Each structure stands twice: as C-alpha cells, then as structure tokens.
Chains A and B, each alone.
Chain A
Amino acid sequence: MDQPMEGITVVEVKDKIDHMAYLPGMEQIDPTVRQQVTAARAGYDENAYTAQDVRAALDADVRTPEHFAALLSPAALPFLEEMAQKARMEKRRYFGDNVYLFTPIYISNYCENYCIYCGFNCHNKIRRAKLDLAGIEEEMAAIAQTGLEEILILTGESRKMSDVQYIGEACKIARKYFKMVGIEVYPMNSDEYAYLHQCGVDYVTVFQETYDDVRYEQLHLAGHKRIFPYRLEAQERALMGGMRGVAFAALLGLDDFRKDAFATGMHAWLLQRKYPHAEISFSCPRLRPIVNNDKINPKDVHERQLLQVMCAYRLFMPFAGMTISTRERAGFRDRVIDIAATKISAGVSTGIGGHSGEEEGDDQFEIADGRTVDQVVAAIREQGLQPVMNDYVYV
C-alpha cells in the first residue's frame, strides 16, 4: 500500500473489514441523507466558480448550497476580508455579543480504532487510563470551580472499556455540576442516544473526519470507526434519540478540505431541513501544514483557508453554532470569536485526569492555547464581547 499520509508509519492490518458494510448490532436508518451528502461532495467542483459567483453569494440574503459552494471555492479567497465582514454581521445578528465557553473532559483514552493520524489510536504506545466514577466526580468538581457551566464529555472509542452505561453515569454526574452536557464519543444506536439523553445529555458531536469514503478507508484501518456509513449517520440517529443538538466536522486537511467542508455543510443543512428543530453546530479542526515544507500543496489548510471555511459555514447557516478548539493559537481564536465562531474552549486538558491532579493518561493532541478560563474570559471582554457560561435550560 502507498504511504497514506506523509510522515506516518502504518502498521499493516491483515483481513481489513469492508468499510461500507454495517457490523452486527449497528442500526441501519434511512440512508437518504447520507447518500445526498456523499453525492453532493462527489459533484462539487471547486474550480468551477468565478469571482462573479462569489459576488452573488456574498450579496444573497438567504444563501443556497450553490452560494455555499462558491464561498468555499478558491475563487472566494481574494474576498476573504469581505467574507469576514459579512460573517461578523451575521454572527452579531443571531448571537449578538455572546461568546459561549465550555471545556472538554476526557474520561477514558482506551481506543479500539486504528486511525493512522490520531494520538489515541490502538497501535500508539501511550499511557491508557479510564477515570472511575469517583475520579470523574473529582475532575468535574474541579472544572466547575473555574466557573464553567457547560461540559463536553469525551472518550476514546472503545465500547468495551467505556460502555454506554459508563458514559451514562458520567453524564448523570455532569448534570450535577453543569447546566449543559455534550458528548463526543463513539457513534451509537438511536436507543442508546435516547438513554444518554435521559442521563442529561443534549448535544452530540461526531467528527466524520473525511466525507470521501475511499480516503476514509485508507485512514481508518480497523475498529468500529472503519464503518463509514454508520459514522455518517450518527447525527441523525442522535436526533432520532431525542437529542436537541448535533455538531458536525471534517478534519480539514485529511483530504481535499474544500470538498470536505462542502460535505460537512451539506450534511448539517440536509439534517436541519429534515429535523427543523435541531440545533446545528460546526467544529473546524484541521491538520496543520508541515512547517518549512517547500512543496506548495493546494490542499494545505493555512489560517487563511481555515478562516475561509469558517466564514463560509457562518454565511451559509448563520444560525448555527461554531466551536473553535485549542488546536489553534490564542491569537487566532480571539479574533475568530468576533467573526464567525460562537463557542470557545478554555482551561483545556486533553489527557485523562488533568483537571484535579496528576494526569494518568496521555493527551490526544497537543494544544496551542493553554489559557485558563479566567484568562479566556478576560480576552473575550477585552474585545467588547460578552462571555456566556450558560444559555440553556435542560427540559
């Protein structure tokens, strides 16, 4: 096999499973939305758009998928300043000065998947750890002390080591300390989402990584995550299970980021049309371009390109939430919360147990913004924006 990603050594996997076939126990739902999303991605020709198309998209009142496609195209890059100004206006219209805060908590980093680009993958020799319920409570109490009222619970993807029951218990504890609880865990069936909703969860985030099934197959070599359609349908199953909101993301840079961003937006757009009450949110993770790489790769996602994607999401779905993670540097995050993003993490540790004591398990990725909650709050205020810890009632 060719080396699928530069600089990454791949452990050979024998008897790889069919990435398009559901495994036993995986719920199969109406595939229409998934098929529409993959068809939209396949049909997206980013080079087919002109400055005139971008102009029309910028001037539109309500933007269509075709406008969105134009805003994501290379032709829109020279319009980035204007996109940012329009995005900022839309953001203010829907969210005013508000900037929401949260922090992720990693309760387990055991993982059965082999995603070659991920720090948690099953072939990486890292310290594995899982918090017991007392440990979770201790961590959450420590986080609540910082003033945060929203939390995102994460696990590595291992049904064995962190089963649905365990996650549910973690969520019940979270509800004692936080007004809003979200999860970013392995995809599950709608009845399991319904159970977690009962435990106090209202928000489900699943990163699709890439919406191209061929590329997806090359990057996800083993584990449940290898099953492309089951992952793509996770948000819809979550809504079927009664969750209030769902979040979408492609890991920009795994494949053609414009196509993946287009698919991400279409995924959100189609589900919002099917479930009009659903709250929609985007995350915008990227693989950083390799520094000092003398080859100019058009697929590289520099800050300019990342901002273009964020503005395109904002202009296409102005009512959607958007999270900016600590993968990005403080100077970037502080600016984009004024332009496009609505939510920012603070006081972040991506290891296990880092909030209340010594870390027991290693981190998923290195963060570029290690500021505390107080520091992020101060930075938000400095820009005349309003830090909001909670804007939510669980009903």
Chain B
Amino acid sequence: MADELILGGHAFTSRFILGSGKYSMDLIRAAVEHAGAQIITLALRRANSDTDSILDHIPEGVTLLPNTSGARTADEAVRIARLARACGCGDFVKIEIMRDSKYLLPDNYETVKATEILAKEGFVVMPYMYPDLNVARDLVDAGAACVMPLGAPIGSNKGLATREFIQILIDEIDLPVIVDAGIGRPSQACEAMEMGAAAVMANTAIATAGDISAMAGAFKSAIEAGRAAYLAGLGRVLDRGAAPSSPLTGFLAD
C-alpha cells in the first residue's frame, strides 16, 4: 500500500510542503521540482497582485495552499480565506493569525474560531498553531484537516525547539501533525519525520540557502529518510543508563 498523506480526502505522496513567501518567482519552479513538493503555500496577499502574479509560477498539478498571513483576528482570516477561494485558489487554506509583528507567533484562540467557521464552509483547513494539546484537540473538534505546530519562531531556522510538545501532539492527535515553522536544516526535518510528524513545511531554510535547488533536494531526501525510519520503527534509543540484560521480572512464576 502506498504511504500517502491524506488531507481533507486528498492524497499526497510527498510529505514536503514548500513555503513560497521568500522566493524570487523564477526560483519557485526549480524548488518545487527538486523538492518534489505537491503542496505549495502562497500568501493570498501576494497572489492578489496584478502584475507578475505568483499563480503564474506554480507548476501544474501542484496543490495551492493559500494562507491568511496578514490576518490579526479570526474574522480577518475568514475574510481572506473566502477571498482566496473566490480568486480560484481552491478549497485548501492555511490559517495564520498573528497579533504579534515581532515573533509572528500564532494566536491559538483566534485560530480555533476561524477553523470552526471555515471548516463548516467546506474548506480543507490547515491551522498553524503553537503546540498546545488542548488547542490541538479543539482544532480537531472544529473540523481541521491537520494541525501545524511550530518547531520554532518563523524564519528562525532554530529547528525543533518545541520538540517535546510536538511529540505529545503526535502521540495524542489522530490528525496529521505537520511541523510548520523554524525548520532550518534537513537534519531537523528528518528528526521531525522520525518522531512521527506527517509532513514538514519549510520556506526560509531553502529560500536563504546558497543553492536553492540543491537544498530543496536535500530536504526531500531528509524527509524521505525520516519517514522511512519512522515506518521501520526506530530501534531502541535510551535516554540514560543501561538496560539490564536479564529481565527484572524474570522471577515471576505465573
């Protein structure tokens, strides 16, 4: 059976989602090709431009994931999502709601509200969130197609700073958990996949690389390796101490 990522009833074989916000347009195609990405995000506020629209640079067969960046409230995110659908961007939407211009941290509370409204309207809702288990459960109840916890602040390339909390989401949430922000290097993407993340999203790490195409390819390989390791079942990795070679419970008679 093929190892597919299912989002809102759509199946994908690639587990790499490419962010487009920081690329020169002509590099997007190259990055998509080398990363094998089947989903690419775009800020509606960029797609909204009359000249040199980013939409013209997205290769065919790639699913567009418009995001609501720029929204500060659930209400604004809902309006942006509807505008995206009206612009022909499809039913997928990534909710990004930020009330903080410095760290761009997501507002979980407003995100739950927007998810509930948009899921009811038939959107495939992919919410960007701070990894909080209670909020993740609320997002599931609100009709989200996945949850997208941040590994570290957007653009920071700091990797899995929230790894313990992402692990909890992976363990407890039945929807795909897609690690969204902060992934700075292929090894971090690989680690997220080993942990059981369903997919990884990256933008800055590739956009700011010396050779964009080569880095896109490196991410592709890392994500595939991490996924394979997860499916294989990681061998025993002990945090500390050693395990006794004969079992402590060997004395039990029946």
| A→B interface (CB under 8 Å) | 92-98, 147, 149, 179, 272, 276-280, 317, 319, 384-393, 395
Chain B residues within 8 Å of A386, by CB: 23-25
Contact B83–A276 (Cβ < 8 Å): no
Q: Answer whether residue B13 sits at the interface, using C-beta atoms and an 8 A cutoff.
A: no
17 contacts between A and B (CB under 8 A): A92-B208, A93-B156, A97-B22, A97-B24, A179-B49, A277-B101, A278-B101, A319-B101, A319-B102, A384-B24, A386-B23, A390-B49, A391-B49, A392-B45, A392-B48, A393-B44, A395-B71
Contact A395–B22 (Cβ < 8 Å): no
Nearest A residue (CB) for B79: A395
Choice from A93, A147, A387 contacting B155 with Cβ under 8 Å: A93
Contact B204–A393 (Cβ < 8 Å): no
State A395–B204 Cα separation when bound (angstroms). 26
Contact A385–B49 (Cβ < 8 Å): no
Chain A residues within 8 Å of B76, by CB: 395
State A272–B155 Cα separation when bound (angstroms). 19
Contact B72–A277 (Cβ < 8 Å): yes
Chain B: minimal CB distance from A160 (Å): 36
State A390–B25 Cα separation when bound (angstroms). 14
Q: Answer whether residue B99 sits at the interface, using C-beta atoms and an 8 A cutoff.
A: yes
For the residues of A in contact with B, the DSSP-based class is loop
Given A93-B155, A96-B22, A395-B70, verify A389-B101 contact (CB < 8 Å).
Answer: no
Q: Answer whether residue B246 sits at the interface, using C-beta atoms and an 8 A cutoff.
A: no
Contact B204–A96 (Cβ < 8 Å): yes
Contact A97–B49 (Cβ < 8 Å): no
Given A96-B22, A276-B99, verify A388-B104 contact (CB < 8 Å).
Answer: no
Given contacts A92-B22, A97-B24, A393-B48, 10 further A-B contacts (CB under 8 A): A93-B157, A149-B49, A276-B100, A276-B102, A387-B52, A389-B49, A390-B48, A391-B45, A391-B46, A392-B45
Contact B207–A147 (Cβ < 8 Å): no
Q: Answer whether residue B51 sits at the interface, using C-beta atoms and an 8 A cutoff.
A: yes
Given A179-B49, A389-B50, A389-B51, verify A272-B22 contact (CB < 8 Å).
Answer: no
Contact B101–A391 (Cβ < 8 Å): no
Contact A96–B207 (Cβ < 8 Å): yes
Chain A residues within 8 Å of B104, by CB: 319
Chain B residues within 8 Å of A317, by CB: 102
Q: Which of B50, B71, B76, B104 has the most CB of A within 10 A?
A: B50
Contact A272–B102 (Cβ < 8 Å): yes
Given A388-B46, A390-B48, A392-B45, verify A96-B208 contact (CB < 8 Å).
Answer: yes
State A280–B207 Cα separation when bound (angstroms). 24
Choice from B80, B101, B155 contacting A276 with Cβ under 8 Å: B101
Nearest B residue (CB) for A93: B155
Chain B residues within 8 Å of A278, by CB: 101
Chain A residues within 8 Å of B83, by CB: 393
Contact B101–A280 (Cβ < 8 Å): yes
Chain B residues within 8 Å of A395, by CB: 70-71, 76, 79-80
Q: Answer whether residue B124 sits at the interface, using C-beta atoms and an 8 A cutoff.
A: no
Chain A residues within 8 Å of B25, by CB: 386
Q: Answer whether residue B59 sits at the interface, using C-beta atoms and an 8 A cutoff.
A: no
Contact A390–B45 (Cβ < 8 Å): yes
Chain A: minimal CB distance from B40 (Å): 15
State A97–B208 Cα separation when bound (angstroms). 9
Chain B: minimal CB distance from A383 (Å): 10
Over the window 46-62 of chain B, the binary record of Cβ atoms lying under 8 Å from chain A Cβ atoms (1 yes, 0 no) is: 10111110000000000
State A388–B102 Cα separation when bound (angstroms). 22
Q: Answer whether residue B21 sits at the interface, using C-beta atoms and an 8 A cutoff.
A: yes
State A393–B104 Cα separation when bound (angstroms). 17
State A118–B104 Cα separation when bound (angstroms). 39
Choice from B22, B24, B70, B80 contacting A95 with Cβ under 8 Å: B22
State A391–B53 Cα separation when bound (angstroms). 11
Q: Which of A277, A392, A395 has the most CB of B within 10 A?
A: A395
Q: Answer whether residue B43 sits at the interface, using C-beta atoms and an 8 A cutoff.
A: yes
Contact B23–A96 (Cβ < 8 Å): yes
Contact B45–A385 (Cβ < 8 Å): no
State A385–B21 Cα separation when bound (angstroms). 13
State A141–B145 Cα separation when bound (angstroms). 44
Choice from B23, B51, B52, B80 contacting A393 with Cβ under 8 Å: B80
Nearest B residue (CB) for A395: B76
Chain B residues within 8 Å of A97, by CB: 22-24, 207
Contact A98–B48 (Cβ < 8 Å): no
State A207–B14 Cα separation when bound (angstroms). 50
Instruction: Scan residues 183-218 of chain B and give those whose CB is less than 8 A from a CB of chain A.
Output: 204, 207-208
State A364–B120 Cα separation when bound (angstroms). 54
Contact B43–A391 (Cβ < 8 Å): yes
Chain B: minimal CB distance from A344 (Å): 16
Chain B residues within 8 Å of A279, by CB: 101
Chain A: minimal CB distance from B78 (Å): 9
Chain B residues within 8 Å of A98, by CB: 22
- The 4 tightest CB contacts between A and B, nearest first, are A96-B22, A386-B24, A395-B76, A390-B49
Contact A94–B49 (Cβ < 8 Å): no
Chain B: minimal CB distance from A140 (Å): 14
Nearest B residue (CB) for A275: B101
State A379–B83 Cα separation when bound (angstroms). 33
Contact A93–B102 (Cβ < 8 Å): no
Chain B: minimal CB distance from A174 (Å): 15
State A94–B22 Cα separation when bound (angstroms). 8
State A94–B69 Cα separation when bound (angstroms). 14
State A279–B155 Cα separation when bound (angstroms). 17
Contact A393–B101 (Cβ < 8 Å): no
State A385–B24 Cα separation when bound (angstroms). 7
State A384–B101 Cα separation when bound (angstroms). 27
State A393–B21 Cα separation when bound (angstroms). 15
Choice from A92, A179, A319, A385 contacting B48 with Cβ under 8 Å: A179
Nearest A residue (CB) for B24: A386
